Structure 1
Amino acid sequence: MSTQKLSEVAWNGLWKQNTGLVQLLGLCPILAVSTSFVNGVSLGIATIVVMSLSGAVTAALRNFIPYEIRIPVFILIIAALVTVLDLAMNAWMHSLYVVLGIFIPLIVTNCIVLARIEAFAAKNGVLSSAVDGAGMGGGLVVVLGMLGTIRELLGTGAILNGIDTVIPGTSAIQILPADYPGFLIAILPPGAFIALACLIALRNWSESRAAKRKPVVPPATPAEQIA
């Protein structure tokens, strides 16, 4: 596959078919883990790793997997990768592992991962499938990062809360005044729905403006159609 095609595949995951803003898949981790930038992006990166590797493995084995048992095999591949990732995070990033908790193993049941394997990796090559998984996961990271930043800034007045679980010795950055009382609803479940709705509306508005700026091509006349 050419570089241009790979770029289109990646852009499709990042923007055109963004899992959080367009397809609205995997909303459980999106809404539950996006209480801070660090938590959201960390889970998003873990999802990128699983989606990219599972897509590549599935594409490499697709001709050897009987059609009738493809879904159980796909889930087995995802589960094996998630298990390795879960054990690795528990060993080397234990503080972050404790914070993310059950949402790391739940990547196995995330409909985003299985949907892309079924829709793309099972029908395309290894490289393009890996790029597709990375693009879709990257789109999820963008949404989680934006949601986490908005919610923790409004809720606590600071950003990068919990960064010490990833980079020991660092601390959060206080943006708003130290006596900021905090907007509690922002870090509660209703705040997640409200913030996600605002991001979806912003994306739709951007797409609408882009569509209006496109030149309108007049329909061909009968003479042009004959020619």
Structure 2
Amino acid sequence: MNEYKQIALQGLWKNNPGLVQLLGLCPLLAVTATLTNALGLGLATMLVLIGSNVLVSLVKSLVPKEIRIPIFVMIIAALVTCVQLLVNAYAYGLYLSLGIFLPLIVTNCVIIGRAEAFASRNSVVKSAFDGFMMGLGFLLVLSVLGASREILSQGTLFAGADLLLGDWAADLTIHFWQLDTSFLLAMLPPGAFIAMGFLIAFKNIIDKKLADRAPTPDTVEVVTRARVTKVS
């Protein structure tokens, strides 16, 4: 169980693809103008991550080391094609909104990196869990970024949710305030970079506070000696 906790912690916080590894930044910054787009791309990436990790773990012993990267890329490309066709069939509006960034999941370094660094060295169950946690960590960063940019730029949340969930979700839109004109900085790429910088800074502040609270080796040694002396 400790091993699975470490995998979860790595994907969600310590080695988060968006905040720590800084991988997949192009789609992360490009499609997060709204929360709906962020959720759509995040879920698609998570599905590909889980599927690729599972398949790579299954075939790792059959693939020669010399051609493992091309094989991994072919597996990822096949899965991305399947996901793209599913989105095209069942969420065509979202498919149009995501545009080129949906097929470009193939080139996302997060996916090929986990296939090479983890799935090719671990069991199927662990690989699937790692793909889920890395995908969830990437999805959470996308969602926070998309929600903050949508609220600042349009004063809404879940605008266009019907593109992802169907016509019934059109009423899910939350209106915080009415804007005469949109806040362009939050909608454009510079705003995405600024918001991403704030998220990374916030994480670094939390990490620093946690590190300051953690006992140092000298403190642990003093406490240990005190306990030994007390017992004696």
Q: Deviation at 1:41?
A: 1.4
* Structure 2 residues not aligned, in runs of 5+: 226-232
Runs of 4+ displaced beyond 4 Å: none
Q: What SS does the aligned partner of 1:25 have?
A: coil
Contact 2:151-2:176 within 8 A present in 1 as well? yes
Corresponding pairs, count: 219
Correspondence for 1:99 among 97, 100, 111: 97
Q: Deviation at 1:180?
A: 5.3
Q: Take 2:59 and 2:37, find their aligned partners in 1: how far apart are those partners? A: 33
Is structure 2 residue 165 aligned with structure 1 residue 164? Answer: no
Contact 2:155-2:179 within 8 A present in 1 as well? no
Q: Deviation at 1:4?
A: 2.7
Q: Take 2:61 and 2:117, find their aligned partners in 1: how far apart are those partners? A: 15
- 1:191 aligned residue: 191
Q: Deviation at 1:182?
A: 3.2
- 1:9 aligned residue: 7
Q: Deviation at 1:187?
A: 0.6
Over 3 Å counting, the alpha-carbon distance change for 1:98 and 1:179 in structure 2 is closer
Q: Deviation at 1:56?
A: 0.8
Contact 1:96-1:166 within 8 A present in 2 as well? yes
How do residues 18-33 of structure 1 correspond to structure 2 at under 5 angstroms?
18-33=16-31
Q: Deviation at 1:217?
A: 2.8
1:62-84 superposed Cα distances (whole Å, 9 cap, x missing partner): 00000000000000100111111
Q: Take 2:179 and 2:71, find their aligned partners in 1: how far apart are those partners? A: 54
Q: What SS does the aligned partner of 2:17 have?
A: coil
- 2:175 aligned residue: 174
1:160-208 superposed Cα distances (whole Å, 9 cap, x missing partner): 11101123132421012x2454321001010000000000000000000
Give 2:174's aligned amino acid: I
Q: Take 1:24 and 1:179, find their aligned partners in 2: how far apart are those partners? A: 33
Correspondence for 2:32 among 26, 31, 34: 34
Over 3 Å counting, the alpha-carbon distance change for 1:186 and 1:217 in structure 2 is same
Correspondence for 1:121 among 119, 122, 128: 119
Q: Take 2:190 and 2:14, find their aligned partners in 1: how far apart are those partners? A: 26
Q: Take 2:208 and 2:28, find their aligned partners in 1: how far apart are those partners? A: 25
Contact 1:156-1:180 within 8 A present in 2 as well? no
* Structure 1 residues not aligned, in runs of 5+: none
Q: Deviation at 1:17?
A: 0.3
Q: Deviation at 1:220?
A: 5.5
Query: Normalized against structure 1, the TM-score is what?
Result: 0.92
Q: Take 2:107 and 2:6, find their aligned partners in 1: how far apart are those partners? A: 27
Query: Normalized against structure 2, the TM-score is what?
Result: 0.90
